[in-house]
Amino acid sequence: MFPRFYPPAATNCSSCREMGYIVRPRGEFAQAEICACVPECTRCGGSGRMVIERDGSRQIGRCRCQKLPDRIRIFNTARIPARHARSSFVNFEISDASVIRAFGEAQKWVSEYTPGEENKGMIFWGMVGRGKTHLLVATLRSLVFTHGVQVRFVEFSRLLSTLKEGYSTGRSDTSLLTELSTIPVLGVDELGKGRLSEWELTIIDEVVSRRYNAMGTLLGSTNYRPADPTGAPPPNLAKPEFERQTLGDRVGWRVFSRLKQMSMFVQTRGQDYRTSARSISHARLTTVPNENAG
Ligand SMILES: [Zn+2]
Ligand SMILES: [Zn+2]
């Protein structure tokens, strides 16, 4: 069941699955647009404005057909990479029980999210290739279309290199830092990835602390076990990283304890999602939260 945006998408539209919008890779990012099946609004004739009688006077207001274009605009600023344009709850493939659990947690989290209030975040963790990034992107996408909340996707190592570039060229990139600190929902992919210098840890600390103080919501994914620092040495190539170090080892006490306060950790374990996706049941469940509600 998908309650729809207004005007409703065509029944049985195979392009948008009656959601009214489609998402495509365009350039570097995933971009949404209104599906061609959505008819012109008959209430406002497509102008988006309506005359409203209020307290005996006539005012110009926005037509409800503007809700979908509004949410599409928000989605198109999320900077979701083009390669994840198709990642949604609707096409998430389920491989085993713990992945089903993670999938269910993500959907529940979206349905319980309350705009304008403090919302505890969620970090998906597990070994490489367990659909973590798909779940992260699907959660961000669903948040936008369900609640109209502003979100931003950023890859951890990319975040660090961008900030570093800003500093090294003399303009400490405070606008980017401020943006990342104040966006209502930030999704960080591959938390803890890479060989982290002291400087990088300081920057992560700053972003996380500022978000913590601003009561922003943090979503994320990581290959590392969410446990306190163990003092294990940095990974070498002979052994998989996740077997040795914890997320605490990667980001340090201070950042890790903040992450624990700000987010819950959801494990995605199971078969390798990238190689076994064909052999498993499809996740088009009736429990998919409807992205068009609200
Ligand atoms: Zn359509
Ligand atoms: Zn209208």
pLDDT recorded at residue 203: 84
Whether the pTM exceeds 0.85: the reply is: yes
Q: How far apart are CA 254 and CA 117, in angstroms?
A: 25
Q: How far apart are CA 219 and CA 259, in angstroms?
A: 10
Winning range, highest mean pLDDT, from 58-67, 197-206, 261-270: 58-67
Distance 64 CA to ligand 1 centre (A): 18
Q: Is the pLDDT of residue 286 over 90?
A: no
- Percent of residues in the chain assigned helix, strand, coil, to nearest 5: 40, 20, 45
pLDDT band for 283, please (50, 70, 90 cuts): very low
CATH number of 77-279: 3.40.50.300
pLDDT recorded at residue 105: 94
Find the range with the poorest average confidence among 32-36, 87-91, 167-171: 167-171
Tokens encoding 147: 């609640």
Distance 41 CA to ligand 2 centre (A): 5
Question: Would you say 283 and 94 are in contact if contact means Cβ atoms under 8 Å apart?
Answer: yes
Instruction: Calculate what percentage of the chain has a pLDDT beyond 90.
Output: 59
pLDDT recorded at residue 140: 97
5 Cβ contact partners less than 8 Å away, ≥ 6 residues apart: 19, 20, 38, 65, 67, 68, 292
Greater model confidence, 165 or 67: 67
Q: How far apart are CA 154 and CA 207, in angstroms?
A: 12
Distance 69 CA to ligand 1 centre (A): 14
Greater model confidence, 286 or 189: 189
Q: What does the pLDDT look like over 4-33, one tens digit per residue?
A: 799 999 999 999 999 999 999 999 999 999
Find the range with the poorest average confidence among 102-116, 197-211, 228-242: 228-242
Q: How far apart are CA 32 and CA 76, in angstroms?
A: 6
pLDDT recorded at residue 53: 85
Distance 8 CA to ligand 1 centre (A): 9
Distance 117 CA to ligand 2 centre (A): 30
Ligand with minimal distance to 46 CA = 2
Segment 124-148 shows an average pLDDT of: 91
Instruction: Calculate what percentage of the chain has a pLDDT beyond 70.
Output: 84
Query: Near ion ligand 1, which residues have CB within 5 Å?
Result: 9, 13, 15-16, 35, 37
Q: How far apart are CA 78 and CA 181, in angstroms?
A: 14
Segment 71-82 shows an average pLDDT of: 97
Burial, 156: exposed, middle or buried (Cβ in 10 Å; 0-12, 13-18, 19+)?
A: buried
pLDDT band for 127, please (50, 70, 90 cuts): confident
Comma-separated ranges of CATH 3.40.50.300 domains in the chain: 77-279
Distance 21 CA to ligand 1 centre (A): 7
Chain-centre distance for alpha carbon 13:
26
String of DSSP letters for 46-113: TSSEEEEEETTEEEEEE-GGGHHHHHHHHHTTS--BGGGTT--STTPBP-SHHHHHHHHHHHHHHHH-
Distance 267 CA to ligand 2 centre (A): 43
Segment 76-85 shows an average pLDDT of: 96
Closest CA to 242 of 113, 141, 96, 132: 132
Distance 153 CA to ligand 2 centre (A): 31
pLDDT band for 194, please (50, 70, 90 cuts): confident
72 Cβ contact partners less than 8 Å away, ≥ 6 residues apart: 21, 32, 33, 34
Ligand with minimal distance to 63 CA = 2
Q: How far apart are CA 215 and CA 184, in angstroms?
A: 8
| DSSP reduced 3-state for 212 | helix
Ligand with minimal distance to 10 CA = 1
Distance 74 CA to ligand 1 centre (A): 20
Burial, 291: exposed, middle or buried (Cβ in 10 Å; 0-12, 13-18, 19+)?
A: buried
Tokens encoding 30: 């995933």
Q: Is the pLDDT of residue 1 over 60?
A: no
Distance 288 CA to ligand 1 centre (A): 18
Ligand with minimal distance to 66 CA = 2
How many CA within 13 A on the CB side of residue 271? Answer: 14
Q: How many residues in the chain? A: 294
Closest CA to 139 of 217, 47, 225: 217
Greater model confidence, 162 or 132: 132
Ligand with minimal distance to 67 CA = 2
Question: Would you say 200 and 234 are in contact if contact means Cβ atoms under 8 Å apart?
Answer: no
Ligand with minimal distance to 4 CA = 1
Distance 11 CA to ligand 1 centre (A): 8
pLDDT recorded at residue 288: 42
Burial, 87: exposed, middle or buried (Cβ in 10 Å; 0-12, 13-18, 19+)?
A: buried
